[in-house]
Structure 1
């Protein structure tokens, strides 16, 4: 039987397979199309606001506008701190593709010394808000700006921006009183209002710049700009202008400050002058000073280390932080304490054989004049600076009453309203010694305090403040260094001012003033040479503070001692006595006797303040040569 041949092609089956495959392909295409359409709907409709905002952020940028820092003037309108135009190098990390590569290129282009490279890199890593420019370098030179401009295409995220930079015309003279601004560091960033300091790279670090930072800084503004894909600004869309900082007028007199600096040139010490009636600080000199302009843009490590290691401590503000035994300058204050407590009377006298002895104690506490001054009353004791009189007074007062009375003049306390960093120094008492050394207070220590030695420490500002309160006959006016903020005068009656010192008998002030006048104008006065040719009535008191203690039978001989072991010279003064216009405190470290090495400096300051130039014939150079 013949079998039929099988068919080579099943057309119906192939058609059926094709239709199935086509349907599956169509379904897959439709599914994918549906997914694509769903995604487009999600992006264009559901997430429309989100992505249009992101797009706008890429195209439109908000940039901070830092305010112009307020200027600082002296009381006569002389400029003490100004702003000079400069060019800064900034970097936005979010716009940099390769940070290390960019930094390496910048180091090469700027030709930075090796010791500055690490600091440069650290500044680039300083934490900032997103898209906030970090300050890499200030005060670029023209050559550096030109190199950066030529290579701008290789430096995305890097900008050279013009900004005003703080400058101090009299940097060394005003360095301690004004302070300085410097770059904002990471710790300060945590405490600052980031919105108000956006775009600001500098902040007050010390002195007036630090205390009045809020007033001097102002309020930051902003501008909205359109940028291209590389972040370059195409046009400005809108802005809110910054509010500049307020100008600050100080109570300081630039010329008097310069005189004080000249008087102390080549020495270590301080001169502080205050107007008693207003509490205005006229001069606040600390010597030696330093060039504060070097700190604005960032001092190099080698120079900073040299300043720190300088044996004369130029960075140390002696006027407000230097602590010295006040020596005999405190005797007028002790005299008033004795009168107020009824321990002495103005007419009462003691006999001085050249020493004082405590009851049942063989030790002799010596007067500076070894054979003594004989019989002395209050006024003569002040004029000749008799130690025995004040040993007796201190013993009769006792440390408790003595310390309490000295606190009323501001000793052992911060007194100034707006002086940043002021020290309290130390007014000792038995409670302090128990807490500090876990020891009782001894009567001999009271005697040391009675002549301004022992544990008692003062700052020059503190001593000048007490002198101004003394000149005011006990009326307290808080010292301050700012006279006017913008157009607003600073009030004389400042918060936390101490209560006035009221004596039972106002004539006691006159007796103490008379004794202080005799210091300068009396025939026995310790500073009588200073009073030669004086054209007004002046009260003063010299002081000599020991750097180390002498033994019972040792005699002080400056020639045998190393220079830094010699006594400090101190002097306080106010004038005119009948209507005080200036109170001065002078401290010259390791200079010797206060009547010889400090009194004439106080006289030069009062002459300059009270006399017209044609009346003041005292040449400073001749004055210093005469001393030498």
Structure 2
């Protein structure tokens, strides 16, 4: 039993000895290892990678901590990283060999004083401007911190980025991209990047009578003094700063000579050299509004950005816009750039060269600008769109320069609706559609071009089932064959031709002309149609045969339909840009009519213009062979009611078919109907023939 009483103390004794230094009779405890420089360096770099700013600050030397508080330290790192959108931060000790103290052993550091150890580290991160990587040297210092000697990091601003010094700043600057330009087939500008004089006021230099100066400037710019005061009252304005007020023409700058406080700067902006002549085609740009910003913020738009508001500027916005760049740089206290940390270059937008001929565009506009009109011009053999116009028009430059409320009201309240893009809308083609009806009948064998059809009087009704409804014509020609029907634009002849085909055949074969399909160009146009919801009656079919009823077509589609006559029955594939895929088809609609039908119609359309009795004779040009068709579309609620009339002329030179024109003018009633249009077309052809 006594042996058992001593067993436990003996075991305890052995256990105590095993925890003492050196064994034997030395019972001194093993000291806890003192933190090394490597431990301090590793802890600091780990906290940095984890963005633990409080942990980083705690590892700084007392001297470094006297330069800024923990809050200031965290705020500086936080603001820099937030501003440059730092992500995927990696911090690594890349010292070439294990660190060692400079001159003393751990046992002697207390008496030897501070100990310094250098270390190298590498930093990498992604930023808004791309990746940033750098290597730098740091210093760990054993120094008195409180009552103990501890390894601490000797910090300064170069540890954020190696090029930084105290007082420097990291700045993020956007690099604006150049918007792609739109030019015509020869390179002439349609929507380009340019400059214009921007008038501004320096508030502190307005002189003794600022009110008089502001009133003078407002009167010359067509704005109000309140407009000027609003700009001068912006929060950023200071007496010595240039405050932009408005854009002026260079020719008007002299009017502001010697006006106190008024200066000029050149401002980059969008320029539309053709102005009103191409406004609906090019459209214009403007500052993004709140609604657009909310819808497009995911695409990188921000307040103040410019965006396409109408026309091709809007349609091609994604391609024209380009991509802004950004640079992350270090600047000194004076704002001078010291070094670039990362840069993402701006990518310019895509420029477009259109098939449009700027000279022809201007020529056509001069002829139609006084009327509400739509016009399209094509090269019928290639399908290249040479001109697209709508009038009346507006000056797109006004939206860029700063549109006054007075000018906007004048355009917006104009009963002719200059903002309305007529070339993108469908209109009743009237008698210009008769070439489609004729082609359908010729190809189907229901129309004999040489047959003399007996038609008496100016009105015709099929039978009693039509009740009081009738088709009327202008010229009482009898008998009538196809050539005479086109020359005199005989509605009754083509109404009967449509009836001979029947509703189903008429609708089925009209599709060969692309009726009901979108025109395959980048600019969105209304689809043409035969009817709203199908041809419901013989009366509607008869009216459709001469382009009335519910038939609608854009001026470009009418021009394309006529291109089949030039191309042996094929409709050319329309092209608006020269960058179109060269492998794209040359033909949009093959065999819209047979070559034989195309030849017959070409000959008859030449006769329709050449004949002094023809309604299209106003387009006749000596020495040319203009083939063309007039059209008068009546817009009224019912028979016997006076309505509006739109006049058409569509034609080309059969001897040299490099230009095919389709022009529609609204409200020609009382002005000669379609004969109001033919002289305009004649002058356009004559100007084009001069080269």
Structure 2 Cα separation of the partners of residues 162 and 258 of structure 1:
28
> Residues 221 and 356 (structure 1 numbering): CA distance in 2 closer, same or farther, change over 3 Å?
same
Equivalence map 1:463-482=2 (5 Å): 463-482=558-577
Corresponding residue to 2:328 among 224, 230, 252: 224
> Residues 279 and 190 (structure 1 numbering): CA distance in 2 closer, same or farther, change over 3 Å?
farther
Query: Which has the larger share of strand?
Result: 2
Deviations 1:479-507 (A, max 9, x none): 23222xxxxx323554897441254x521
Corresponding residue to 1:424 among 509, 527, 534: 527
Query: Aligned pair 1:256/2:360, yes or no?
Result: yes
Corresponding residue to 1:597 among 676, 680, 685: 676
CA RMSD of aligned residues (A): 4.0
Instruction: Quote the residue 2:429 is aligned against.
Output: 326
> Residues 603 and 85 (structure 1 numbering): CA distance in 2 closer, same or farther, change over 3 Å?
closer
Instruction: Quote the residue 1:368 is aligned against.
Output: 473
Partners of 1:68 and 1:164 within 8 A in 2: no
Query: Aligned pair 1:543/2:631, yes or no?
Result: yes
Structure 1 Cα separation of the partners of residues 318 and 338 of structure 2:
29
Partners of 2:560 and 2:571 within 8 A in 1: no
Instruction: Quote the residue 2:595 is aligned against.
Output: 506
Report the 3-state secondary structure (helix = DSSP H, G, I; strand = E; otherwise coil) of the residue aligned with 1:351: coil
Partners of 2:571 and 2:592 within 8 A in 1: no
Structure 1 Cα separation of the partners of residues 54 and 618 of structure 2:
98
Aligned-residue offset at 1:44: 4.0
Query: Aligned pair 1:338/2:415, yes or no?
Result: no
Instruction: Quote the residue 2:202 is aligned against.
Output: none
Instruction: Quote the residue 2:417 is aligned against.
Output: 313
Aligned-residue offset at 1:417: 0.8
Query: Aligned pair 1:79/2:189, yes or no?
Result: yes
Structure 1 Cα separation of the partners of residues 494 and 354 of structure 2:
39
Query: Aligned pair 1:269/2:373, yes or no?
Result: yes
Corresponding residue to 2:319 among 215, 234, 245: 215
Equivalence map 1:3-18=2 (5 Å): none
Query: Aligned pair 1:179/2:289, yes or no?
Result: no
Query: Aligned pair 1:454/2:557, yes or no?
Result: no
Report the 3-state secondary structure (helix = DSSP H, G, I; strand = E; otherwise coil) of the residue aligned with 2:277: helix
Structure 2 Cα separation of the partners of residues 363 and 375 of structure 1:
24
Report the 3-state secondary structure (helix = DSSP H, G, I; strand = E; otherwise coil) of the residue aligned with 1:509: helix
Instruction: Quote the residue 1:132 is aligned against.
Output: none
> Residues 442 and 548 (structure 1 numbering): CA distance in 2 closer, same or farther, change over 3 Å?
same
- Answer with 1 or 2: which has the greater Rg: 2
> Residues 524 and 179 (structure 1 numbering): CA distance in 2 closer, same or farther, change over 3 Å?
same
Aligned-residue offset at 1:316: 0.7
Report the 3-state secondary structure (helix = DSSP H, G, I; strand = E; otherwise coil) of the residue aligned with 1:267: coil
Query: Aligned pair 1:575/2:575, yes or no?
Result: no
Unaligned 5+ segments in structure 1 are 1-37, 90-106, 125-134, 150-159, 434-440, 484-488, 557-564, 614-628
> Residues 137 and 470 (structure 1 numbering): CA distance in 2 closer, same or farther, change over 3 Å?
farther
Report the 3-state secondary structure (helix = DSSP H, G, I; strand = E; otherwise coil) of the residue aligned with 1:251: coil
Structure 1 Cα separation of the partners of residues 483 and 576 of structure 2:
34
Partners of 1:468 and 1:574 within 8 A in 2: no
Corresponding residue to 2:608 among 519, 542, 545: 519
> Residues 349 and 201 (structure 1 numbering): CA distance in 2 closer, same or farther, change over 3 Å?
same
Instruction: Quote the residue 1:404 is aligned against.
Output: 508
> Residues 549 and 199 (structure 1 numbering): CA distance in 2 closer, same or farther, change over 3 Å?
closer
Partners of 1:572 and 1:583 within 8 A in 2: yes
> Residues 40 and 278 (structure 1 numbering): CA distance in 2 closer, same or farther, change over 3 Å?
closer
Corresponding residue to 1:585 among 662, 674, 678: 662
Structure 2 Cα separation of the partners of residues 40 and 270 of structure 1:
71
Equivalence map 1:64-103=2 (5 Å): 64-85=174-195
> Residues 450 and 572 (structure 1 numbering): CA distance in 2 closer, same or farther, change over 3 Å?
same
Partners of 1:272 and 1:281 within 8 A in 2: yes
Partners of 1:116 and 1:300 within 8 A in 2: no
Unaligned 5+ segments in structure 2 are 1-51, 61-69, 84-168, 200-213, 236-242
Aligned-residue offset at 1:463: 1.7
Structure 1 Cα separation of the partners of residues 598 and 299 of structure 2:
55
Structure 1 Cα separation of the partners of residues 59 and 657 of structure 2:
81
Structure 1 Cα separation of the partners of residues 230 and 433 of structure 2:
49
> Residues 472 and 495 (structure 1 numbering): CA distance in 2 closer, same or farther, change over 3 Å?
closer
Structure 2 Cα separation of the partners of residues 136 and 393 of structure 1:
66
Report the 3-state secondary structure (helix = DSSP H, G, I; strand = E; otherwise coil) of the residue aligned with 1:338: helix
- The size of the alignment, in residue pairs, is 508
Highest RCO, 1 vs 2 (Cα 8 Å, sep ≥ 6): 1
Structure 1 Cα separation of the partners of residues 529 and 231 of structure 2:
43
Report the 3-state secondary structure (helix = DSSP H, G, I; strand = E; otherwise coil) of the residue aligned with 2:440: helix
> Residues 41 and 283 (structure 1 numbering): CA distance in 2 closer, same or farther, change over 3 Å?
closer
Report the 3-state secondary structure (helix = DSSP H, G, I; strand = E; otherwise coil) of the residue aligned with 1:376: coil
TM-score for both structures, normalised by structure 2: 0.65
Partners of 2:293 and 2:302 within 8 A in 1: no
> Residues 88 and 243 (structure 1 numbering): CA distance in 2 closer, same or farther, change over 3 Å?
farther
Partners of 1:176 and 1:285 within 8 A in 2: yes
Report the 3-state secondary structure (helix = DSSP H, G, I; strand = E; otherwise coil) of the residue aligned with 2:615: coil
Query: Aligned pair 1:247/2:351, yes or no?
Result: yes
Instruction: Quote the residue 1:53 is aligned against.
Output: 77
Structure 1 Cα separation of the partners of residues 379 and 295 of structure 2:
36
Corresponding residue to 2:396 among 282, 286, 292: 292
> Residues 45 and 537 (structure 1 numbering): CA distance in 2 closer, same or farther, change over 3 Å?
farther
TM-score for both structures, normalised by structure 1: 0.71
Partners of 2:619 and 2:681 within 8 A in 1: no
Structure 2 Cα separation of the partners of residues 297 and 413 of structure 1:
39
Higher alpha-carbon deviation: 218-227 or 327-336: 218-227
Equivalence map 1:135-174=2 (5 Å): 139=247, 164-174=268-278
Query: Which has the larger share of helix?
Result: 1
Deviations 1:526-568 (A, max 9, x none): 22243252x222211111111325645x7x7xxxxxxxx5422
Structure 1 Cα separation of the partners of residues 185 and 354 of structure 2:
5
> Residues 458 and 499 (structure 1 numbering): CA distance in 2 closer, same or farther, change over 3 Å?
closer
